[in-house]
Amino acid sequence: MSALFSVAGKCALVTGGNRGIGLMIAKGLLEGGARVYISSRNAEACAQTAAELSVWGDCRSLVADLAATNDCARLAEELGRRENALHILVNNAGVTVGAPFDQFGDEPWNSVFDVNVKGVFHLTRFLRPLLERGAREGDPARVINIGSVDGLHVPAMENYSYTASKAALHHLTRHLAKRLGPAITVNALALGPFVSAMTDPAMGAEMAARAPLRRIGNADDAAGAVIFLSARAGAFLTGAVIPVDGGLITTA
């Protein structure tokens, strides 16, 4: 049974892995025995985080701005120079912008969709050969897209492009799953609020009070979901959008 949920020996890339949810996921994969690359636009911060995470395993940093298609290609090329195969791609990097309806112009749409949707598509496209080389009979390579419960319901916040981008990411997940199987599975996690420096404490408390489980997510919740999808236990699941939100979606 332990082998069924093992990621030991696998190679993973976690975008936006130097903070927040990405950091939680990277740490969990390292503790599970995977070799993990984290990427970020900030080279210094990414390298520092990789050094700190190396306490739990083999962690390395790569620099990339996923809003730029050519940087997605460069990231894939750089990883290909270091690794013969990739087993797990976690598309976690994301951008959010909030503004009142009457002030929501073009920039919040472009900046958010460039990373949250286009960046995911292009990086997955460029990494496809490495992922296919990581696939094994009964244990495909994995793409895990980090979506949001805000892509499943309408939140109170005026973050129009973010919610639309996450809804688009959920559907892109299904489309990629259909196209990339059987060698690669593609699933999404629709996350609710999590304990991190990026979560407003008051908003987190309000959401926790509404959720059936009466709390917000923690590092084990994020890492556990990713490890399930990445291990042999999740090998028969593709095209799924899984809410990891303490049941918050049931209150929408």
Q: Which of 37, 126, 162, 194 is catalytic?
A: 162
Q: What is the DSSP letter of 139?
A: B
In the chain the beta strands, taken as DSSP E runs, fall at: 11-15, 35-40, 59-63, 88-91, 141-148, 184-191, 241-244
Residue 222: both structure tokens together:
């994020």
Is 162 considered catalytic here?
A: yes
Sheet of 88-91, strands arranged across:
59-63, 35-40, 11-15, 88-91, 141-148, 184-191, 241-244
DSSP secondary structure of 37-95? EEEES-HHHHHHHHHHHTTSS-EEEEE--TTSHHHHHHHHHHHHHH-S---EEEE----
User: Which sequence positions are flagged as catalytic?
Assistant: 162
